[in-house]
Amino acid sequence: MNTQLPMPDLYERIHDCLLAGALGDALGADIEFASLSEIRDRFPDGFRDLPPHQGIRGAITDDTQMTLFTVEGLVRASVREALKGICHPPSVVHHALLRWLVTQGEVPRHEVDREGLIIDRRLHARRAPGLTCLEALGRSRSFDDAAVKRSKGCGTIMRVAPLAFVPADRIRDLAMDCSALTHGHPTGQEAAAAWALILADLGRGGDMERAASAQAASFGGETREAIMNALRAVPDGSPETVEALGAGWTAEEALAIAIYACRCARDLEHGLTIAVSHSGDSDSTGAIAGNALGLMFPGQPRQLRWAGQIECYDLIDRMARDLALAMSGQMDDLMDRYPGA
């Protein structure tokens, strides 16, 4: 078996993106729902370490869990397309997310297989998963069954990062379709697509403000307004400025906070701190911003002092490697690990 890294630059970009997202997730996990004053009282000198969550330092939540299952869906879709010549990726991603649903102790209406990430017991930890995701996946009767509920929660955007690495002409539609599996509101889908496109631009070495401005011109309504609010906000990086953009519970607010944190970031740690320091969905905004910060500051996620504390670091590395193989068309190793996809 060939063990040489496929397209090392691609692997490293994906790894930095996923790992930094997990770092932001873990940093914000234990302060989700806390008020800004509570956060300041608890961490008067800032974050010197990752706060333990459920007794585990470096614990990841549903944000990183669902991101990893999305990666698995994309890899399986690539293998299936290579084997059979045809595939519908949103359906394969949906199947992957239903496997995640099983890890949360839920019973989907559609039968799912028990291979891959689902067998890793660490991913069966239930860390306050989004109710909309649980409800929509639990109700679906077939793969690619779109959600009925018109929610625009941040559950659409916190798992979208892997889609930034598919072929450029497929990113927007695939992000919209995969978001629609759990959230029926157009804003939730559009914000996720805009973020995937911004991440793709950053992955090619682009600048955050230019990438965000380009997507503001491509989308309308609440998504455009959120992007422009983030670009117009005073770049002081203060929690008060972050809170003026929202709390991150909805997709467009999470998008705005992530863009803003990236605009202000001096480095990865500084950007993550900005992204989680508010009275809202801190783990999700940390994870979303982290995905971009990992691309903006390549190499820093692996060098950050907290990296070795991240739960499931080995899975993040393995799935980054597999996605790089899949996106570069190197299927030999993958076919051994995903037989029949």
> pLDDT digit string (tens) for 146-179?
887 789 999 999 999 999 999 999 999 999 999 9
Rounded-to-integer distance, Cα 187 and Cα 261, Å: 21
For residue 193 the two structure tokens come to 């697509």
Residue 5 has what pLDDT?
43
- Cα gap 185→136, rounded to integer Å: 13
pLDDT averages per 10-residue partition of the chain, 341 residues: 56 98 98 96 94 97 98 96 92 97 95 95 97 95 83 97 97 97 96 98 96 96 98 98 98 98 98 98 98 98 96 98 94 84 68
The pLDDT of residue 336: 86
d(CA 274, CA 296): 15
pLDDT of residue 4: 41
**Class (C level, CATH) for 8-337:** mainly alpha
Q: For residue range 4-17, list pLDDT tens digits in order.
A: 444 679 999 999 99
The full set of domain ranges for the chain reads: 8-337
Concatenating the DSSP letter of every residue in 234-297 gives -TT--HHHHHHT--SSBHHHHHHHHHHHHHH-SSHHHHHHHHH-SSS-HHHHHHHHHHHHHHHS
Q: What per-residue confidence (pLDDT) applies to 2? A: 35
Cβ neighbours for 211, distance < 8 A, ≥ 6 positions apart: 197, 198, 201, 202
Token duo for residue 247: 């709390």
